[in-house]
Structure formats: C-alpha cells, structure tokens
Amino acid sequence: MDNIESEKKVEETALEIEKKSLFEVVMRGIRHYAWLLILCLIVTIVIGGAIGFRWWKNRDEEAVVSYWIDEANHSVARGNFEEARISLEWIRKFHSQTWQMDRVLFDLGRLYMDYFGNLDGARFYFTNQMQNHWFSLLTIDSWKKLKEIDFLSDRGTKYEKKVWKEFAFDRRIARAGQREKALIKMKDLVDSYPQSNVAPNILFTMGEISLKDRGLRSDARKYYGMLKARFPHSPLVEKIPPSELLEQPDKPLEFRDGKRS
C-alpha cells in the first residue's frame, strides 16, 4: 500500500515538474519574441498613420480625380469617347500620384481596346497598370485583357486587328444611338470574316443590342443561336440569357436622340 502511494506521489511530482517546465518554456519564448511583436506593432502604427496622413492631405485632390473619372464614364455613356479619353489623360498627366491611377490606366486601356480598336495603345495602358499598380484588384482584369490582345494580335490571322478595329467602331456607333446602323455593319463584318476570332464577340454584341436596346427578342434569339451553332466552345455561350427570356414576345423600344423614351 505504501509503495502504491509513493508511486502516485512520484507521478504527481513528475507531472507538476513537467507542467512547470512547459510554462517556463512558453514564458521564455514570449519574453524572447516580445521585442519582435512590439516592433511589428510599431511598424503597423507608423505605416497606418502615414497612409492616413497622406489620404487626409490629398483628400481634395482625390475628390477632383473622382469627379473627372465620373465625367469620363458619363462621356462614354453618351458616346463621346474622345472626350472621355481627354479627361482620363488629363488625370494621368496632372495627378500622376493619385491613388486612383490604377482605375485611370485600366479605363484608358479599355477605351483604346473596345472603342478605338487600338490594340497597341490598349496594351500600353494595361501593361502600365499591371507593372506600377500590381497590388490593385484591377490587375487580374488587365491580365485578362492583355491575354485577349495577345490572342488577337499574335495568334490570330493577319486580318484580326482590322476586324477588331472595325468592330470597335461599330460599337461606338451603337453607343452613340445609331443601333440599327451598327447592327447592319456588324452583320456585314461577320459575313465578311465568319471564321475570325472576333466573330463570337460580334454575334454576342448583336444579341445584346437586339435584346436590351431594341427589345427584339426574336432577333436576339437568332444572333445568340448563330453564336452557339458556330462557336459552341466560346466562353460567351455561357453568358447567353436564359431561353425563357428569349422566347418571350418582342417589345420594341423607341429611341429619341439616342435615348430610350
């Protein structure tokens, strides 16, 4: 009996020693790395303070930049693409240190690509955005745009740049309110270059204009059907509206001065 009690006491003593040793190890580690934790905290406070001070100091400038970005977006919506380009270029020249420069560069690249058909100009702005603002959420979008430009410029046939430029011009016409004229030109473009890498984009855009801007679901159904039949593996096929919507009766929309009435 005495032996059993002695063994229990020995085990309890050993357990207490083990717990005490573990506690000492933990405390020693905390003391050893406390300076590192304090240093990280100080650095975080300094960086946060610097960012906050810079924002407070430049808040008026950022407000001006935001205003001109909005003006550029409104110009695009009105079909005044050159006016939008001038506004964005003005920001790039006179407010080069703005925190919104990633948005400015991306919008310029998209403007050159989608509405001016200038793939080289678009490549310049998208590359600039990625190199100088790699931390931006727009970097992935710029990378996707550059991949698309590479495909159109290098991997496509010799007339791809020409087709894309004409398609961009047709989209400008559509945004300016001349939708019927744009559809006619896009149809001619698809008929002239049926195997072009740009053809899926053209057919999808024709479907969008017919459905959203003209209310002609039958026409949209026709263009989307051509897209699925000719290019079944195109990523744009997944973006086609559901058949329930396309099967509904047409609801023609009237426009005055490029605006829906």
Where residue 260 falls among pLDDT bands split at 50, 70, 90?
Answer: very low
What pLDDT was estimated at residue 80?
84
Mean pLDDT computed over every residue of the chain: 81
Where residue 251 falls among pLDDT bands split at 50, 70, 90?
Answer: confident
Where residue 188 falls among pLDDT bands split at 50, 70, 90?
Answer: very high
First to last CA, the chain: 101
* Number of Cβ within a 10 Å radius of residue 133: 20
What average pLDDT does range 180-193 have in this prediction? 90
CATH 3.40.50.2300 fits 165-260, yes or no: no
Domain-wise residue ranges, the chain: 8-57, 61-155, 165-260
d(CA 90, CA 212): 33
What pLDDT was estimated at residue 132?
84
Query: Which is more confidently placed, 214 or 227?
Result: 227
What average pLDDT does range 235-255 have in this prediction? 80
* H or E element that contains 192: helix 179-192
Query: Which is more confidently placed, 256 or 55?
Result: 55
Give the domain 61-155 fold.
1.25.40
* pTM given for the model: 0.58
pLDDT per position as a tens digit, 195-226: 788 889 999 999 999 988 888 888 899 999 99
d(CA 261, CA 257): 9
What pLDDT was estimated at residue 6?
59
